[in-house]
Amino acid sequence: MKTLKIGIFGAGRGADIAANFQLLGCEITAICDFHEERRKNAVKRLGEGITEYADFDSFIEHDMDAVVLANFFHEHAPYAIRCMEKGIHVYSECISNGTMAEGVELIRAAEKYPDVVYMLAENYPQMIFNREMHRIAKSGVLGKILYAEGEYNHPGDPNDINFKRTYTYFTKHWRNYIPRTYYITHSLGPVMRATGATPKTVTAFASFAPVEGDVPNASQCGDRAAVIMTQNDDGSIFRITGCAAFGGHHNAYRVCGTEGQIENLRGMGAKIMLRYNGWSKPEGENEVQMYDPAWNDPDEEKIVKSGHGGSDYLTCRVFLESIRDGRQPEHPYNVYAAVAMSSTAILAHRSMLENGKPYEIPDFTKEEWKKQYENDRAIPYYLTDGTPPDIPCCSHPDYKPTEQQMKRYLELFGE
């Protein structure tokens, strides 16, 4: 395959992804970010010779085969569509769309430009334990899959100024407005891949426990976690979080079938526990097995050096394989799975605001579903053009950080 020219839109996370595409032999040819310092830092890290842009309209004219969308979390879809219109392949950070209407627009664009590869850059399914759960579930030894759990649980120290400086550096930043259900792909993506299922109905509840004390805080969401349940297209059930913040930090997954179950053990690295019942275990196997899974991959040396437990490298590789083979990526990386994940996040939040009311996840291959949602632009975030949110981000819609917390935040970071 010829050397692919890749452009990076968003110089924070975008620079991490760019480094992985370099490891895979691609050329990073252009980078776009209107935040000059972040852009310069990325170029310093990635090497000279990368053309810099501050605005997307000029950047999109650069000669590129593919673009990495790592701009603000809730604003990926319009830029993905602009790339598709120009025949540029898209590697979109999670989530794929910030509103239901954008989900419709993204699917319509993907249907109009089928030769452009669109991939959701969701990396957690490629973590070593999630690859193992996928391998075991697909082998059939667990029987029919009935239930799976996905927890992306990322509590943060409220006094960690460096984290806030890097990740929530202005008051209207999306991380200060994110509802607990929205950062869903790290919990949902791995179980969708392991089981092959897609959510059909969703319901959710949140746990409200605002940050206390004299700490810098501008978050408008006082919820610590949301627990989301889905009934899926194959009859199975998921119990997942968006981004939760309870107990000890972990990424934990579990897949249960009629004959057995597999999970990674919380707080024990990549350790896997595979269990059967005495009457259902495969011949010659133990009822309970605990082990560290192996990569079994020719690129292991590069994988172990890459971010997020090697999953960043592997996810970039999935994208390049799709381009090489001239096909869309598999479930759950393709546009339909990506939009189903975003719909689950958005409608779980509505469910949570309405005391757990169930919502049906639309199937945007069907015109009647497209019509129902094509004008649904409700969003809990500020947009880059200054448009304010029109729905609350918290289960207690009147919640605000304390005056003292806001004062401390403004002293450190300004508006």
| Contact status: 413 vs ligand NAD (CB under 6 A) | no
| Contact status: 56 vs ligand NAD (CB under 6 A) | yes
26-31 own/partner pairs: CB under 8 Å, 24+ apart? 26/320, 27/3, 29/5, 29/62, 29/63, 29/64, 30/59, 30/62, 30/64, 31/7
How many chain residues touch ligand NAD (CB under 6 A)? Answer: 20
Q: Cβ-count burial of 79 within 10 angstroms (0-12 exposed, 13-18 middle, 19+ buried)? A: buried
| Contact status: 33 vs ligand NAD (CB under 6 A) | yes
3-state DSSP percent of the chain in helix, strand and coil, to 5: 35, 20, 45
Q: Which is nearer to ligand NAD, 221 or 274 (CB)?
A: 221
Q: Which stretch binds ligand NAD (CB under 6 A): 26-34, 153-161, 237-245, 279-287?
A: 26-34
Q: Which stretch binds ligand NAD (CB under 6 A): 6-14, 133-141, 229-237, 281-289?
A: 6-14
Residue 95: cis peptide before it, omega within 30 degrees of 0: yes
Site for ligand NAD in 288-317 (CB under 6 A): 308
Binding mask 73-92 for ligand NAD (x = CB under 6 A): x-------------------
C-alpha neighbours within 13 Å on the C-beta side of residue 269: 7
Binding mask 176-205 for ligand NAD (x = CB under 6 A): ------------------------------
- The alpha carbon of residue 129 and the mean position of all alpha carbons in its chain are separated, in whole angstroms, by 17
Strands 89-92, 66-69: pairing kind? parallel
CA geometry: angle 122, 128, 132, nearest 5 deg: 105
Binding mask 112-151 for ligand NAD (x = CB under 6 A): -----------x----------------------------
| Contact status: 13 vs ligand NAD (CB under 6 A) | yes
| Alpha-carbon gap, residue 276 to 292, rounded angstroms | 18
Q: Which residues bind ligand NAD (CB under 6 A)?
A: 10-13, 32-35, 38, 56, 70-73, 93-94, 123, 167, 308, 384
